[in-house]
Amino acid sequence: MNGLDARVVAVSRRKGHHFSKDNQLEIRLVAGHGVDGDGHAGATVKHRSRVRVDPTQPNLRQVHLIHAELFDELALKGFSIQPGALGENVTTRGIDLLNLPRGTLLKLGEEALIEITGLRNPCSQIEAFQPGLLAAVLDKDAQGNLIRKSGIMAIVLRGGDVRPGDPITTTLPPAPHRRLERV
């Protein structure tokens, strides 16, 4: 995955708080807000557990992205996962999302610009979706550190429409790069 042919595979949204999202022909990203019409959009945090702690926190999870290569990996383990099923707004192919540094900018299509804020931390809902899936999206590196493979989160810097097939352009932040942590 060199990122040169990085593309949007699918786009998804859903009103309200649901685990999975519905595939769309296009989604509109709104600066400082997220995906128009999505239950997790807003300037302040929308994730239920975080709202209980402090509803005034900034929403660092306006857009959820997952790499389609994860679905390929999960298929080899017997899981059948389709775009949007794990709650992502944008399904990608050809870009190593998990290894991008915090602050990376992704241009999606012609206009939309998002900034990566961190990793998605898979919760118990993923296990209810398909038994065994939680363990399948977690791994350990050679040093025993936990690897979360269930996607990344971002905020919208510049709005625009995003469609399947749109190119993804990556701009890395200035060095030193900071690893993604869960948000």
Query: What residues form DSSP beta bridges with 22?
Result: 13
- Written as six digits, the tokens of 26 are 């296009």
pLDDT at site 170: 98
182 in a domain, yes or no? Answer: no
DSSP string, 1-69: --STT-EEEEEEE-SSS-SS-EEES-EEEETTTEETT-TT-SSB--SHHHHHH-TTSB-S-SEEEEEHH
- The number of distinct structural domains making up the chain is 1
Whether the model clears a pTM of 0.85, i.e. scores above it, the answer is yes
Does residue 179 lie in a domain region?
no
The tens digit of pLDDT for each residue in 50-100 reads 778 888 899 999 999 999 999 999 999 999 999 999 999 999 999 999 999
Other CB atoms within a 10 A radius of the CB of residue 8 amount to: 25
Q: Is residue 59 part of a domain?
A: yes
54 in a structural domain: yes
Provide the pLDDT for residue 101. Answer: 98
Residue 3 confidence (pLDDT): 58
Q: Residue 165 has which token pair?
A: 């097939």
In a domain, 88, yes or no: yes
Residue 31 pLDDT grade (very low, low, confident, very high; cuts 50, 70, 90) = very high
Residue in 106, 112, 102, 120 with CA at minimum distance from that of residue 40: 120
Question: Does any domain span residue 177?
Answer: no
- For residue 56, the enclosing domain spans 7-171
CATH of the domain at 159: 2.40.33.20
Q: Is residue 146 part of a domain?
A: yes
Q: pLDDT band for position 124 (50/70/90)?
A: confident
Confidence of residue 1 (pLDDT cuts 50, 70, 90): low
User: Is residue 180 included in any domain, yes or no?
Assistant: no
d(CA 138, CA 121): 9
Q: What percent of the chain has pLDDT over 90?
A: 84
